[in-house]
Amino acid sequence: SKEVWKKGGRMFSILLAVHLALLACTLVSSGAFERIAVHDYDVFFLLTVMMLIVIIWIIFYLISTSRCPDAILCKDSHAGPVWLRGGLILFAIFSLVMDVFKIGYYSSFYSCLSAIKIMYPIVQAIFVVVQTYFLWISAKDCVHVHLNVTRCGLMLTLTTNLAVWMSAVTDESVHKAHSKLKKNTTEELFRWLLKVGMRSGSTEACNCNSQICQIFKNGYFWLYPFNIEYSLFASAMVYVMWKNVGRFIDHHSHHVQRLKFRLFRRTFFVGIVLGLIILVSGLGVLIVYEVQVNSSTEPSKKGQALTMYYVFNIVCLGLMSLVCIGGSVIYRFDKRDMDRHKNPTRTLDVALLMGAALGQYAISYYSIVAIVASTPRDAISALNLTYALLMIAQHTFQNIFIIEGLHRQPPKEDHKRSSHQKELYGLTFVNVSAVSLRVPDSGSAAAPSTGTEGTHPSDLVRSLTAPKKINWRRKLLREISMFLLLCNIIQLWIMPAFGARPHFDNDTELNFYGDSMWPAIVDICLPFGIFYRMHAVASLLEVCIMS
Amino acid sequence: SKEVWKKGGRMFSILLAVHLALLACTLVSSGAFERIAVHDYDVFFLLTVMMLIVIIWIIFYLISTSRCPDAILCKDSHAGPVWLRGGLILFAIFSLVMDVFKIGYYSSFYSCLSAIKIMYPIVQAIFVVVQTYFLWISAKDCVHVHLNVTRCGLMLTLTTNLAVWMSAVTDESVHKAHSKLKKNTTEELFRWLLKVGMRSGSTEACNCNSQICQIFKNGYFWLYPFNIEYSLFASAMVYVMWKNVGRFIDHHSHHVQRLKFRLFRRTFFVGIVLGLIILVSGLGVLIVYEVQVNSSTEPSKKGQALTMYYVFNIVCLGLMSLVCIGGSVIYRFDKRDMDRHKNPTRTLDVALLMGAALGQYAISYYSIVAIVASTPRDAISALNLTYALLMIAQHTFQNIFIIEGLHRQPPKEDHKRSSHQKELYGLTFVNVSAVSLRVPDSGSAAAPSTGTEGTHPSDLVRSLTAPKKINWRRKLLREISMFLLLCNIIQLWIMPAFGARPHFDNDTELNFYGDSMWPAIVDICLPFGIFYRMHAVASLLEVCIMS
């Protein structure tokens, strides 16, 4: 109640974040080009300073909120659900392993490096530990002291995570581009890696020849995707905390959803089995593809590998699109009320899903234009076109399915409902149309909810008419979301994240757009596509549990 | 009240817009490169089809809403204020002139062009007329029939405007880049212009040698900035209409602000005079700069012109920053209530101001990094660095000033206040502290307003304490906004929009980032910077009238 103008308080922290993000973006993008006289240690220096400031602020925050008893008056029950925090810890552990590999790799040629190269992974490891602890215990907080300092601190944390994310994405893209485009000799890549490691030092007598150094080097590039996801997960949670600063939650109108993690209490057959089949065959396809494309130099083998990759993906995407359409059709018949409570977590989820899908959309549209306008139309072009079109369709249908699922009220517990049903039968045993008249007006204003225990009249109508049908429907929805979840994991997250790049192995787009524009498009858009898949997996898990 | 789930209805129209926008973006960006086999007539074909569909939809909308009596139940008084609609008509007229020039230019070599080249400006002229009429009469509508069709139609209109904007910006950037980078002979430019005009036709016997053809050609490139602004103005108004589809406005809590356009009833001395001085001297600087940079080939003249340009801009930006800080300090002492009513127009204004400023921020940050990292540091580099830093500072301070100004309650009419004061004196002649206790809690919830006529208790407190001081303060605020308005027009809108490109005339950044990256950065970011200035002018006019 102290705050006169919330928007003004937010504005200053946004301005701080915008300026820091732009500075980081400038340095990171300049550092990615070899011709430009900005080196990667300049970037590492900025990131190290930012992370140190964030660590200090987090410690200050934890101390000040624990000392002040009325610092956190209420908690947002939607923020930081358990699977998000669990995922954060999982990615944090992989990030720490990556940092250890990085420290090991750089310490192999300690003498010819600037100190910041080794400082950076050490500070990053501390940052990951402190931030994960901070998010684990305070992701749900609605802070009410030091409003402006907290907002600025959270925005600083958010910007630091985004800057680390940008730096990791750039680093990985440069690495991938070098290893794909100059693939004729592995010597080339090796020389490049050395140069990255030692831009500041002398170039002689600093070789990574030992077995352990090679393991460190390969390990940290393979673990990059986890670090990238860690930064994005942390950013999303910090953003929700920032939205919740100074927020008052009305506990009467806000019914707490206690979703239990009863994933394996019910039987999941079709969804899980089909999903696992696709997962395993997808892993097989990925390995065969990688081996064939990377090892063989003859174009016919490469064509075979591409054909296999596209056919598998087209089958998979087609199945997923059909299943999503089926799920949306089932929702048409689902008369559960839409959940209209204010929920920053869900709003962010929806915005991220829609926004991150843009990356894959953009790649697909550029592909389509290139294929349609190119003249030699062979079988691989036709497969590529189908793949691009299905990619767009699948993203669209899946977004619609997930967003509809997230906006449904979670069902009440079955045993609770039956006990309530009895009471209500006794009290108001009326005909259905009379009860349905009591359904509150579902206009633009949020319908007042009746708390956790109270049963909605519309629930009663539903349970009077078709309780069996609803159970059957909910089971089907759960199967669908489990299937989609597994498909998203393998087909569309692991494959691009661990190196399958048909965009470069296939020549059509590369010839059409040229060697500079097409890699730029893919490198900017693909990380968003990968993030979309990660985020879709988390959202599908939520849909699965809620339906 | 028919709508069950507003977000779902919006989602479909957003998906439609996203797909269309991406397709247009792909074609426009591909068409900009000569190497890529996508031609500008492909782009024109897509845009023509989109504009025709929008024209048909607008006619359908106008007929259906005029026939159905309860189609528009309420109007959003904040949407489409008179200066926005006036500006739209002004830009529409210039756009029509541009279309006439374009038709004239292309019809000069009618025989060697594809028909779409002449169709496009004709359809665009019809589109501009129909859309301007549509926005003039229905910008304030809150539509309540055909909700989903209307949303999709509005999103289609928005996307079409954005696509036209993208196409115009790309066309102009390509033109500017060609005329700047290959300036040694004007022959080059001339040949390029011909090529643009005739990619589809035969290259011989199609010359633009006649006097009238040259006038047409120059005319339409000079009128591009107006067309670009027209598209953005129309997009903003269409977006607000889309937000208002299906909205109910509570007329009790929503007090209509009738701001009178009494700009010249009060005396404006210092602000207008200072602003006009800067406007005139800025025009002089622009002309001298353009002449010296474009005509002379010796580097010393160019250095002189750059020095003059930077010094003028630094003085101007410094003055503007100081004035903005002064205005923000005055707001600190201004105890008017913050306006917390829901207002999509204002939310969009603020978002556009913050978003469009990113363009100029990005250019400035890239400049700063280049100047700091480059080794030969001469006087022009120092001036450039100061210019970039002041640019960032000025944008930030001006944003803070404008956003604070937009969120103030407009003052009540003076004569009304005095009559109410008397009544209230009679009723509740209490001491000030007791009255101030009745001020409603200004927490996160919006304070219930007391309608148009009722005077707020806090108004009473204020009018009891210092009515003279407030008038003096408001006058000063009005002077400040007038001064800033004039400065924004000349220094920061006309100068970049009409061809001053110190970014390319100064070699530092071009040498640092290379010939492909620096033009890409400037061409992507500068249109946002120009739009920021346009939008700041409109917002400053609103602040000036409201204070």
| Mean pLDDT score, A95-121 | 85
Q: Which of B342, B366, B510, B524 to mutate to test the interface with A (most CBs of A within 10 A)?
A: B366
Please report the pLDDT score of residue A430 as a whole number: 38
Q: Check pLDDT > 90 for residue B182.
A: no
CA neighbor of A136 nearest in space, from A276, A277, A237: A237
B window 12-31, beta carbon within 8 A of A: 14-15, 18-19, 22-23, 25-27, 30
Q: Check pLDDT > 60 for residue A540.
A: yes
How many Å from the N-terminal Cα to the C-terminal Cα in chain B? 37
Q: Check pLDDT > 80 for residue A137.
A: yes
* DSSP collapsed to 3 states, A41-91: HHHHHHHHHHHHHHHHHHHHHHHHHHHCCCCEEEECCCCCCHHHHHHHHHH
Contact criterion met (CB < 8 Å) for A19 and B246:
no
Sign of torsion, CA A283 A287 A288 A289? positive
Distance between CA atoms of residues A424 and B10, nearest Å? 37
Lowest mean pLDDT among A22-31, A219-228, A273-282, B192-201: B192-201
Contact criterion met (CB < 8 Å) for B35 and A514:
yes
Q: Nearest Cβ partner of A36 from B18, B338, B512?
A: B512
Report yes or no: A442 at the B interface, CB cutoff 8 Å: yes
The full length of chain B comes to: 547
| Mean pLDDT score, B450-478 | 56
Query: What is B211-258 written as a DSSP string?
Result: HHHHHHHHHHHHTHHHHHHHHHHHHHHHHHHHHHTT----TTT-----
Q: B362 with B355: CB under 8 angstroms?
A: no
Please report the pLDDT score of residue A467 as a whole number: 54
CA nearest A3 in B: which residue? B443
CB proximity list for A460: less than 8 A, separation 6 or greater: A421, A424, A428, A435
- Whether B214 is covered by a domain: the verdict is yes
Q: Check pLDDT > 60 for residue B253.
A: no
DSSP conformation class of A389: H
Exposed e or buried b for every residue in A498-527, given b needs 16+ CB within 10 A?
ebbbbbbbbebbbebbeeebbbebbbebbb
Q: What is chain A's mean pLDDT, rounded?
A: 77
Q: Check pLDDT > 60 for residue A192.
A: no
Distance between CA atoms of residues A245 and A144, nearest Å? 7
Distance between CA atoms of residues B351 and B353, nearest Å? 5
Q: Are residues A235 and A285 in the same domain?
A: no
Q: Are residues B474 and B342 in the same domain?
A: yes
Sign of torsion, CA B132 B136 B142 B145? negative
Contact criterion met (CB < 8 Å) for A443 and B3:
yes
Contact list in A for residue B374 (CB cut-off 8 A) is 37
How far is the alpha carbon of A358 from chain B, nearest alpha carbon, in Å?
Answer: 8
CA nearest B408 in A: which residue? A5
Q: Check pLDDT > 90 for residue A545.
A: no
- Whether A48 is covered by a domain: the verdict is yes
- What phi and psi, each to the nearest 5 degrees, are found at residue B74? -150, 165
Burial label, B450 (beta-carbon count in 10 A; 0-12, 13-18, 19+): middle
- Whether B259 is covered by a domain: the verdict is no
Contact criterion met (CB < 8 Å) for B444 and A516:
no
CA neighbor of B319 nearest in space, from B363, B275, B372: B275
Distance between CA atoms of residues A519 and A503, nearest Å? 9
DSSP conformation class of A112: G
- What phi and psi, each to the nearest 5 degrees, are found at residue B143? -75, 145
How many Å from the N-terminal Cα to the C-terminal Cα in chain A? 38
Contact criterion met (CB < 8 Å) for A7 and B396:
no
Q: Are residues B173 and B121 in the same domain?
A: yes
CA neighbor of B205 nearest in space, from B105, B103, B110, B116: B110
Q: Which of B3, B243, B369, B508 to mutate to test the interface with A (most CBs of A within 10 A)?
A: B369
Distance between CA atoms of residues A168 and A44, nearest Å? 11
Last residue of one domain, picked from the residues B244, B259, B294:
B244
Q: Check pLDDT > 90 for residue A258.
A: no
Contact list in A for residue B517 (CB cut-off 8 A) is 33, 36
CA nearest A404 in B: which residue? B8
pLDDT band at B48 (very low <50, low <70, confident <90, very high): very high
- Whether B437 is covered by a domain: the verdict is no
Overall number of domains in chain B: 2
The segment with the largest mean pLDDT, out of A95-109, A194-208, B411-425, B444-458, is: A95-109
Please report the pLDDT score of residue A418 as a whole number: 44
Report yes or no: B4 at the A interface, CB cutoff 8 Å: yes
Contact list in A for residue B512 (CB cut-off 8 A) is 36-37
Other CB atoms within a 10 A radius of the CB of residue B448 amount to: 9
Q: Are residues B25 and B63 in the same domain?
A: yes
Report yes or no: A184 at the B interface, CB cutoff 8 Å: no
DSSP conformation class of B488: I
Q: Are residues A315 and A173 in the same domain?
A: no
Please report the pLDDT score of residue B140 as a whole number: 85
Please report the pLDDT score of residue B416 as a whole number: 44
Domain of residue B402, residue span: 270-412+465-546
Contact criterion met (CB < 8 Å) for B443 and A248:
yes
Q: B224 with B91: CB under 8 angstroms?
A: no
Q: How many CB pairs under 8 A join A and B?
A: 124
Tell me whether 0.85 is exceeded by the ipTM. Answer: no
Q: Are residues B193 and B313 in the same domain?
A: no
Q: B290 with B497: CB under 8 angstroms?
A: no
Report yes or no: A528 at the B interface, CB cutoff 8 Å: no
Please report the pLDDT score of residue B191 as a whole number: 53
CB proximity list for A134: less than 8 A, separation 6 or greater: A58, A61, A62
B window 198-257, beta carbon within 8 A of A: 246-248
A window 335-354, beta carbon within 8 A of B: 338, 350, 354
How far is the alpha carbon of A74 from chain B, nearest alpha carbon, in Å?
Answer: 14
Please report the pLDDT score of residue B419 as a whole number: 43
What angle in degrees, to the nearest 10, is found between the helix axes of B299-333 and B270-295?
160
The position carrying tokens 């062009």 is B113
- Whether B458 is covered by a domain: the verdict is no
pLDDT band at B444 (very low <50, low <70, confident <90, very high): very low
- What phi and psi, each to the nearest 5 degrees, are found at residue A336? -60, 145
CB proximity list for A62: less than 8 A, separation 6 or greater: A134, A137, A138
Higher-pLDDT residue of B376, A229: A229
Q: Are residues B177 and B322 in the same domain?
A: no
Q: Are residues B230 and B371 in the same domain?
A: no
Q: Are residues B408 and B341 in the same domain?
A: yes
Q: B150 with B245: CB under 8 angstroms?
A: yes
For A301-360, the pLDDT digits (tens) are 888 888 888 999 999 999 999 999 998 888 887 766 677 777 777 888 888 888 889 988
- Whether B221 is covered by a domain: the verdict is yes
Q: Are residues A180 and A284 in the same domain?
A: no
How far is the alpha carbon of B42 from chain A, nearest alpha carbon, in Å?
Answer: 11
Q: Are residues B182 and B294 in the same domain?
A: no
CB proximity list for A10: less than 8 A, separation 6 or greater: A151
How far is the alpha carbon of A443 from chain B, nearest alpha carbon, in Å?
Answer: 4
- What is the maximum span of chain A, computed from C-alpha positions, in angstroms? 89
Report yes or no: B35 at the A interface, CB cutoff 8 Å: yes
- Whether A456 is covered by a domain: the verdict is no
- Whether B434 is covered by a domain: the verdict is no
Contact criterion met (CB < 8 Å) for A407 and B516:
no
Beta strand A141-143 with B72-75 is unpaired
| Amino acid at residue number A506 | N
CB proximity list for B293: less than 8 A, separation 6 or greater: B302, B305, B306, B505
Q: Are residues B498 and B399 in the same domain?
A: yes
Q: Nearest Cβ partner of A444 from B248, B368, B400?
A: B248
Report yes or no: B444 at the A interface, CB cutoff 8 Å: yes
DSSP conformation class of B110: G
